[in-house]
Amino acid sequence: MSVASISLGREGAGPLLELVRFQLAARALEELLERWWRAGRVPRFDPPGRARTAQIGAAMGLTPDDLIVGGRRDFPASIARGHRFRAILRAAVGGEPLGGAAAELIGRGPGRASVAVGRALAARLQQSERVVLSFFGTAAVRDGSALGAIRAARDVNAPVIFVARGPLSGDPPLTHIDAALGVNVKVMLADDGTELRRAVVNTRPRVAQGGGPVVFDARFGESPAVARDTQRLQSAGQLSAEFERAVNDEIRAALWEARNLVEGGPS
Amino acid sequence: MSVAVAELAASLHQIMDSDPGLLVLGPDVGAYGGRFRATRGLFETYGASRVIDLDPTPVTLVGVAVGLSQADMTPVVELEGPASLAQAASIIASEPGVGRLVLRVPTITSARADALERVRGEGHAASFSAIEGAMVVCASAHSPPSRLLEAAAARDGVTVIIEPTGLYRTPLASSSATQLGTAQVVRDGADLTLMGWGETLEVLVAAAAALASDGVHAKVIDVRCLHPLDVVTLGKVVRDSGRALVAHAAGAEALAAQVAHAAQRESFLSLEAPIETLVVEPGRESVQAVVDAATRALHY
């Protein structure tokens, strides 16, 4: 069983339910990876933490031909794109990149946002409708690599949707680059995956048709997390203790199976 | 007879004609024609979609090139200088699936501060050892940048071409296609082997001529491929003569030691004298220094 099969098994459940399921799956995987990292079985662990909401929400707004370029920290986005637990665990244990047609996630490689621009430029030159989603964090903003990539994307009119995720760490939001670079920047609520998904869905056609890159700043401050998506599900009467337990059991079973396959060696 | 930079521009035109997936990127490579005019006329012919002015910051420039390369395009990047090389290597090494990618590195060699540039340039050849299939080559009057570029654009993998800018205005005799990855015999001789690369080769050729007037026949080798070294050729030429020295510009001591070590390892039982390394700069004094070192090796 895979996470993809979990979500696909609930056809018609709607994006909100799917989003919450992906969040629960990502949290379970993160807990396992953290345990493995503490036990020395994973060479490096970059926890997504609260960023998982933005990662999943943004990824769900893409079409199947689109591509995500990010770091290994962005594995929740790859769950939303159909990567199996097994592939993610194997990449984590081997310290390897997580590749595939839908998402390319590597460790903490420098210049990943610029690589995303290159991938998007190639897509435009090859006359594809593909849009590239690029994640970056406060470190890339501080060292200037994210701003360099955004400027390059503007200069070559690359179809990129940039999403800043993770903690703000005391930095201001990126609204200043709107005026400085002439790139559309929108500050989003970090804990609202539904809104980010909707924003990506609405923006994507314009970006794909040469409207230039956009930036969503979905970083969070120090305020406690408010899981908007879960609240919405609750308000819709679709969330109950039984439901959550059933989903968690299902995820745990899928994780267990993936874990056994990874520990069993390469297939 | 044309100068090297004009040939380079002509080669770029030619390879862009034959490969529609080839793009030129770098600071001022567009309408301005590049800092050294190597991309002159490309923008007018191929437009802004294939000749792209980009921020000189290596993390941006090389990152975009890596993305293009991963998507089966052929980016030819003109870096601002060798100072960017270490960071470029770090970006490429951390990325999976990098295909064909050419980094051109104009290296100014005429001012005093250039020793530092060389440390960062030739000295960083080893940085690319972590990248599978990467090759670092250095242009010279005998391996002009245009020929190296043509060969690099035709090979899969990452190729770094270090271009001493002093060569750009040098008139070139006609040269044939260059095979990357190999050292080249520039002048034949049986008594001694003089090895170098880039602009130091002219000093070695002048020293070989001076030695010939004393009846000593020195072979001159253009090492050309700085990573990986062509140890087979280096070993063979040193075995044949039994005596060798490696000349290099200031700042490339580690690389020169690596060349000497590789040649020594491949020819140890044939050596008549230890392989010496020495710093040379274009000029008569350096020619004499090479002649003196060669004489020491011959009388060891």
Q: Express each pLDDT in A158-213 by its tens digit.
A: 999 999 999 998 899 998 888 888 899 999 999 999 999 999 999 999 999 999 99
Which residue, B74, B76, B10, B2, is CA-closest to B38? Answer: B10
Q: How far apart are CA B83 and CA B122, in angstroms?
A: 10
For residue B14, give how far its alpha carbon lies from the nearest alpha carbon of chain A (Å).
20
- Is residue B176 domain-resident? no
Would you call B68 and A118 a contact, using CB atoms and an 8 Å cutoff?
yes
The proportion of chain A whose per-residue pLDDT surpasses 90, expressed as a percent, equals 52
Q: Please check the confidence at residue B226 and state whether its pLDDT lies above 80.
A: yes
Residue B75: what pLDDT?
A: 97
Residue B116: what pLDDT?
A: 56
Q: What is the pTM of this model?
A: 0.90
- Is residue B266 domain-resident? yes
Would you call A117 and B63 a contact, using CB atoms and an 8 Å cutoff?
yes
CATH topology of domain A3-263: Rossmann fold (3.40.50)
* Domain shared by B64 and B204, yes or no: no
- Residues of chain B positioned with their CB less than 8 A from the CB of A118: 63-71, 75
**Which of A99, A118, A143 lies nearest to residue B67, judging by beta carbons?**
A118
Residues sharing a CB contact under 8 Å with residue B65, sequence separation 6 or more, in sequence order: A118, B25, B75, B77, B101, B103
- Is residue B174 domain-resident? no
* Domain shared by B156 and B26, yes or no: yes
CA-nearest residue to B52 within chain A is A156
Interchain contact B60–A (C-beta under 8 A): yes
One-letter amino acid for residue B69 of the chain: S
Interchain contact A189–B (C-beta under 8 A): no
- Is residue B138 domain-resident? yes
Would you call B59 and A97 a contact, using CB atoms and an 8 Å cutoff?
no
Interchain contact A110–B (C-beta under 8 A): yes
**Which of A106, A110, A118 lies nearest to residue B64, judging by beta carbons?**
A118
Reported as a pLDDT band with limits 50, 70 and 90, residue A82 is confident
* Domain shared by B161 and B15, yes or no: yes
ipTM (interface pTM): 0.90
Q: Please check the confidence at residue B134 and state whether its pLDDT lies above 90.
A: yes
* Domain shared by B155 and B41, yes or no: yes
Interchain contact B72–A (C-beta under 8 A): yes
Please identify which residue in the block is written with the tokens 């839908």: A102
- Residues of chain B positioned with their CB less than 8 A from the CB of A149: 60, 63-64
Would you call A148 and B65 a contact, using CB atoms and an 8 Å cutoff?
no
Q: For residues A69 and B64, is the Cβ–Cβ distance under 8 A?
A: no
* Domain shared by B163 and B191, yes or no: no
Residue A237: what pLDDT?
A: 82
For residue B168, give how far its alpha carbon lies from the nearest alpha carbon of chain A (Å).
29
Lowest average pLDDT, out of B63-72, B148-157, B171-180, goes to B171-180
* Domain shared by B16 and B72, yes or no: yes
Residue A166 CB: number of other CB atoms within 10 A?
Answer: 25
The total number of structural domains that make up chain B: 2
Q: Express each pLDDT in B185-208 by its tens digit.
A: 999 999 999 999 998 999 999 999
Q: Please check the confidence at residue B136 and state whether its pLDDT lies above 90.
A: yes
* Domain shared by B216 and B275, yes or no: yes
For residue A112, give how far its alpha carbon lies from the nearest alpha carbon of chain B (Å).
7
Q: How far apart are CA A110 and CA A82, in angstroms?
A: 26
Would you call A152 and B55 a contact, using CB atoms and an 8 Å cutoff?
yes
Q: How far apart are CA B194 and CA B245, in angstroms?
A: 5
Among B169, B193, B222, residue at a domain's last position: B169
- Is residue B178 domain-resident? no
Which residue segment(s) compose the domain that B76 sits in?
3-169
What CATH number corresponds to the domain at position B92?
3.40.50.970
What CATH number corresponds to the domain at position B203?
3.40.50.920
Q: How far apart are CA B237 and CA B220, in angstroms?
A: 10
Please identify which residue in the block is written with the tokens 């501080």: A142
CA-nearest residue to B97 within chain A is A99
The proportion of chain B whose per-residue pLDDT surpasses 70, expressed as a percent, equals 93
For residue B68, give how far its alpha carbon lies from the nearest alpha carbon of chain A (Å).
5
Lowest average pLDDT, out of A24-33, A57-66, A108-117, A122-131, goes to A108-117
For residue A181, give how far its alpha carbon lies from the nearest alpha carbon of chain B (Å).
13
CA-nearest residue to A96 within chain B is B96
* Domain shared by B112 and B192, yes or no: no
- Is residue B219 domain-resident? yes
Q: Which of B50, B60, B90 to probe the A interface (max A CBs under 10 A)?
A: B60
For residue A184, give how far its alpha carbon lies from the nearest alpha carbon of chain B (Å).
20
Higher pLDDT, B239 or B110: B239
Exposure string for B143-161, b = 16+ CB within 10 A, e = fewer: bbbbbbbbbbbeeebbbbb
CA-nearest residue to B54 within chain A is A152
Would you call B59 and A155 a contact, using CB atoms and an 8 Å cutoff?
no
- Is residue B105 domain-resident? yes
Domain ranges of chain A: 3-263
Among B136, B169, B202, residue at a domain's last position: B169
B 83-142 → A contacts, CB under 8 A: 87, 90-91, 94-97
Backbone angles phi, psi at A84, to 5 degrees: -85, 155
* Domain shared by B116 and B193, yes or no: no
* Domain shared by B140 and B207, yes or no: no
- Average pLDDT of B263-290? 91
- Residues of chain B positioned with their CB less than 8 A from the CB of A117: 63-64, 67
Length of chain B: 300
Q: Please check the confidence at residue B130 and state whether its pLDDT lies above 80.
A: yes
Q: Which of B46, B64, B70, B87 to probe the A interface (max A CBs under 10 A)?
A: B64
Residue A234: what pLDDT?
A: 84
Whether the bond into A213 is cis, omega within 30 of 0: no
Q: Please check the confidence at residue B119 and state whether its pLDDT lies above 80.
A: no
Q: Please check the confidence at residue A12 and state whether its pLDDT lies above 60.
A: no
- Is residue B137 domain-resident? yes
Q: Please check the confidence at residue B111 and state whether its pLDDT lies above 60.
A: no
Give the mean pLDDT of chain B. 90
Q: For residues B245 and B220, is the Cβ–Cβ distance under 8 A?
A: no
The proportion of chain B whose per-residue pLDDT surpasses 90, expressed as a percent, equals 71
* Domain shared by B10 and B139, yes or no: yes
